[in-house]
Amino acid sequence: MTGSNTMDTILVIEDKESMRAMLKQTLEGEGYQVITAQDGAEGIRRLADERIGLVLTDLKLPKKDGFDVLRAVKEDSPLLPVIVMTAFGTIETAVKAVKQGAYDFLTKPFDTGHLLVLIKRALDATRIASENILLKEEFADKLGLPKIIGKSAPMQEITTKMQKVAPTNATVMIRGESGTGKELFARAIHYLSNRKDAPFIAINSAAIPRELLESELCGYEKGSHSQALARKLGKLELADKGTVFLDEIGDMDLALQAKILRVIQEQVIERVGGDKPIKIDVRIVAATNKDIEQAVQEKLFREDLFYRLNVFPITIPPLRERRDDIPPLAQHFLNKYSAEVRKGPITIADEAMDILMKSPWKGNVRELENVIERAVIYAEGGVVRSQDLGISEASIINALAEHVPMDGPLQEVAAAATRIAESRRIRQVLKQTGGNKTRAAEILQVSYKTLLTKIKEYQLEEKGE
């Protein structure tokens, strides 16, 4: 995305022919697209049917004047900046225009350099304003390039891959179990691309009611239905020049799939009630935790869309397959949450880290984050201990039982198998004796003390077993 096609379109409304021509030439020379109108009425008409990023209008105009233009803009698209031009000696009128919502004014004759600075500033301000609205709505705490933690070999590999693809325009498909960091990667791709100053818009197709989908994505024109009192831009249009994150594509319904395919192929949308396709420029990053190939087979997902989206797949492995990442991630969340609850520095006791290292993490990084968040609240004396984690050894052993590790040194394999077997048997006997440990020790033929040690080690008491 380089060159003039990414530049904004400016509507110039000016009745004096030579002035109009000069402005057009100057602005086009800077790479802007320029639309001109020679009176207020034409200018207002132009507002309705073109994609305009800024209006530069004379105040004194035939037919409708600059104030009428300003009013029309404020009604229709309040965020669209208007710069007014006024003849020398009529500053008061210009000030009045600013009070009515013009971004700024210029008195003629003006310096071109000044004009260009003003235009750039207005466009930047609007971009930030419209992005802020979106940010406030949905991404309040998610500003900027996210920090991705992960030194394990598989994470290094996909991070490198991600950094390579980020600056391109390629569609990226991020796959991985729930909570592995798909959205995090999607945002990193956006912030590492030259689209970073334009919005990053997430669309979770499963979360939008079906009947609202079209207007959510494509927007609508004023008057297109009874509630459409003003034009509303859809998410795809708001994302113009930015990145659209299509989350949970496995749940996307077929009608939406067709729409998205068109956006990818032609980069156009149509507002509901509009009669004209609107060109947009968006980069798509998709994510799923589902087996999309299966969905394609079952005709629930369009094959053509699948191939369009799957240009550059990145698969984030589950946390249990990259346990080296657990300590730095735990530390990262520890810092994050201890700052949040204004506790001082907190460390993790060795035995607690041991549990984190062994846990199955079915909910991946998100689950680890939740465990640490809770642990920070429970932690006393600046240390997270195993009991603060809310993970019982029993649950780990249960998870292990499904899958006794069949790698590593024999001693470790044997130790894991022993833990599983012993803890199961102890639980069984405790149940049988109604929790009577003396009886249980007799049945198991170990000393009372040994039994207590093992109950503690395997944390068999926590659930009252």
Ligand X SMILES: Nc1ncnc2c1ncn2[C@@H]1O[C@H](COP(=O)(O)OP(=O)(O)OP(=O)(O)O)[C@@H](O)[C@H]1O
Binding site for ligand X (CB under 6 A): 147-150, 176, 178-184, 289, 332, 365-366, 369
CB of 247 to Mg ion, least distance (A): 5
Q: What share of the chain is helix, strand, coil (3-state, %, to 5)?
A: 50, 15, 35
CA angle in degrees (0–180, nearest 5) for 320-453-324:
20
Quick one: what does residue 148 bind among ligand X, Mg ion, none, with the CB cut-off 5 to 8 Å set by partner type? Answer: ligand X
Quick one: what does residue 386 bind among Mg ion, ligand X, none, with the CB cut-off 5 to 8 Å set by partner type? Answer: none
Q: Which of 320, 292, 288, 321 is nearest to 304 (CA)?
A: 292
Give the residue nearest to ligand X (CB). 181
Residue-wise DSSP of 383-412: EE-GGGGT--HHHHHHHHHHS---SS-HHH
Quick one: what does residue 8 bind among ligand X, Mg ion, none, with the CB cut-off 5 to 8 Å set by partner type? Answer: none
Between residues 232 and 235, which has the closer beta carbon with respect to Mg ion? 235
Between residues 219 and 250, which has the closer beta carbon with respect to Mg ion? 250
Residues 217-256 that bind Mg ion (CB under 5 A): none
CB of 215 to ligand X, least distance (A): 25
Contact 14, 24 (CB under 8 A): no
Between residues 150 and 219, which has the closer beta carbon with respect to ligand X? 150
Quick one: what does residue 317 bind among Mg ion, ligand X, none, with the CB cut-off 5 to 8 Å set by partner type? Answer: none
- Chain CA centroid to CA 184, Å: 7
CB of 180 to ligand X, least distance (A): 5
Q: How far is CA 349 from CA 190, 358, 375, in A?
A: 37, 15, 12
Between residues 22 and 184, which has the closer beta carbon with respect to ligand X? 184
CB of 57 to Mg ion, least distance (A): 44
Compute the distance between CA of residue 408 and CA of residue 399 in angstroms, rounded to an integer.
Answer: 18
Quick one: what does residue 250 bind among ligand X, Mg ion, none, with the CB cut-off 5 to 8 Å set by partner type? Answer: none
Options 183, 214, 221, 369; binder of Mg ion; rule CB under 5 A = 183
Contact 380, 334 (CB under 8 A): no
Compute the distance between CA of residue 132 and CA of residue 427 in angstroms, rounded to an integer.
Answer: 55
Contact 413, 405 (CB under 8 A): yes
CB of 181 to Mg ion, least distance (A): 9
CB of 245 to Mg ion, least distance (A): 9
Between residues 175 and 231, which has the closer beta carbon with respect to ligand X? 175
Quick one: what does residue 181 bind among Mg ion, ligand X, none, with the CB cut-off 5 to 8 Å set by partner type? Answer: ligand X
Between residues 132 and 178, which has the closer beta carbon with respect to ligand X? 178
Strands 383-384 and 347-348 come out as parallel
CB of 288 to ligand X, least distance (A): 8
CB of 186 to Mg ion, least distance (A): 8
Compute the distance between CA of residue 44 and CA of residue 60 in angstroms, rounded to an integer.
Answer: 14
Between residues 165 and 372, which has the closer beta carbon with respect to ligand X? 372
Compute the distance between CA of residue 447 and CA of residue 445 in angstroms, rounded to an integer.
Answer: 7
Quick one: what does residue 366 bind among Mg ion, ligand X, none, with the CB cut-off 5 to 8 Å set by partner type? Answer: ligand X
Region of 464 please: left (phi>0), alpha (psi -120 to 50) or beta: left
Between residues 85 and 162, which has the closer beta carbon with respect to ligand X? 162
Which of 22-30, 175-183, 209-217, 428-436 is the region at the interface with Mg ion (rule: CB under 5 A)? 175-183
Give the residue nearest to Mg ion (CB). 183
| Cβ burial 325-358 (10 Å sphere, 16+ → b, else e) | bbeebbbbbbeebbeeeeeeebebbeebbebbeb
CB of 289 to ligand X, least distance (A): 5
Residue 452: both structure tokens together: 């207590």
Residue 457: both structure tokens together: 């080690």
Which of 96-104, 140-148, 181-189, 333-341 is the region at the interface with Mg ion (rule: CB under 5 A)? 181-189
Q: Letter for the amino acid at 227?
A: Q
Between residues 43 and 181, which has the closer beta carbon with respect to ligand X? 181
Which of 118-126, 177-185, 364-372, 417-425 is the region at the interface with Mg ion (rule: CB under 5 A)? 177-185
CB of 333 to ligand X, least distance (A): 8
Q: Is 177 a binder of Mg ion (CB under 5 A)?
A: no
Between residues 184 and 261, which has the closer beta carbon with respect to ligand X? 184
CB of 57 to ligand X, least distance (A): 45
Strand partners, 287: 174
Compute the distance between CA of residue 27 and CA of residue 11 in angstroms, rounded to an integer.
Answer: 10
Strand partners, 202: 245
Quick one: what does residue 259 bind among Mg ion, ligand X, none, with the CB cut-off 5 to 8 Å set by partner type? Answer: none
**What residues make contact with Mg ion under the rule CB under 5 A?**
183
